[in-house]
Amino acid sequence: MLFWRGRHEVREADLSAYVDGELNASALQRVEAHLEDCAACRESVTELRAVRHSVKELPRAPVPRSFVLREADVAAAPTRAGGGLFGSVTPLLSGVAVIALVAFVVLAGFDITSDTSNRDAGITVGDFSTSDLDVESASEAPADAAVPQTSEREGYNAGDEGLPGELSPDDGEAVPPQLEGIRDENTDPGTDPQSAVASGDDDETGLRIAEALAGGIAVVAGGAALFIWWRRRQAGAI
């Protein structure tokens, strides 16, 4: 209201703070000087005092019961000083996030490595000829390329969720059916080289899927842990 009367050196908020005794020395002096000359502001101060008084005079209710806590009221032990910010859920989420992140980094590393080794082996469809010698030498390379992927898959599956429907997390020796098929094909002289290449591609696809999953889990678990920590900070209020 005061604001719209052109330049008015004292705002309503100042008058409210004045009523509460919350103005510093210089502001207090300014407001008191102004009040001497401004009837409208004096009227405002009167009304603000009345509002404050009436809220203050609202009856206080006695407590309906005692709020003293019993052991049973407190589900978990209080966080000791220095015990940290995390509850029981966030360490688990953080752990999952870290494992998934490590897995992602490892997988990405192997992905890059296997891309490189594939290029070195010179595996292209055009490389395959009908001669037996060529078939055998070319078929060695996918097997070699497949081996690190296998052990890396085993390592990946040691502690984490496996690819759905394919790998068991508990079975460190598990070899995915695709790779099994590749191995058998590669040791068999009659192997169709193109299917070996196709299986190599399947490998890469599987690897990409694993990377995406690991990355996704890391992001989701890490995000959830952060969110819970933030909410606890808010609610825990300090």
Partner 1 sequence: MSGQPAEEDHELVERVRQGNLDAFNTLVLAYQERIYNLCLRMLGSPPAAEDATQEAFIAAYKNVSKLRGANVRSWLFRIASNLCIDELRRRQRRPLVSLDAPTPDEDAQPMDVPDAEPGPEAWALRGELHEALQAELMRLPHDQRLAVTLCDMEGLQYEEIAEAMGSSVGTVKSRISRGRARLRTRIREQPELFGHLLRPIEEGG
Q: Measured from the CB of residue 82, what is the shortest distance to partner 1 in angstroms?
A: 7
Q: What are phi and psi of 163, to 5 degrees?
A: -65, 135
Residue 6 falls in which region: left (phi positive, over 0), alpha (psi -120 to 50) or beta: left
Tokens at residue 164, please? 């759905």
**Which residues, 6 or more positions from 154, have their beta carbon under 8 angstroms from its beta carbon?**
172, 173, 174, 175
Binding segment toward partner 1, per CB under 8 A, in 14-22, 117-125, 137-145, 161-169: 14-22
**Which residues, 6 or more positions from 105, have their beta carbon under 8 angstroms from its beta carbon?**
none
Q: Is 36 in the site for partner 1 (CB under 8 A)?
A: no
Q: Is 88 in the site for partner 1 (CB under 8 A)?
A: no
Nearer to partner 1, 75 or 125 (CB): 75
Is residue 45 classed as helix, strand or coil in its secondary structure? helix
Nearer to partner 1, 69 or 133 (CB): 69
Q: Which of 33, 40, 51, 158 binds partner 1 (CB under 8 A)?
A: 51
Tokens at residue 227, please? 């969110």
Q: Which of 3, 52, 187, 188 binds partner 1 (CB under 8 A)?
A: 52
Q: Which residues bind partner 1 (CB under 8 A)?
A: 1, 12-13, 15-17, 20, 22, 46-56, 58-69, 71, 73-74, 76-83, 234-238
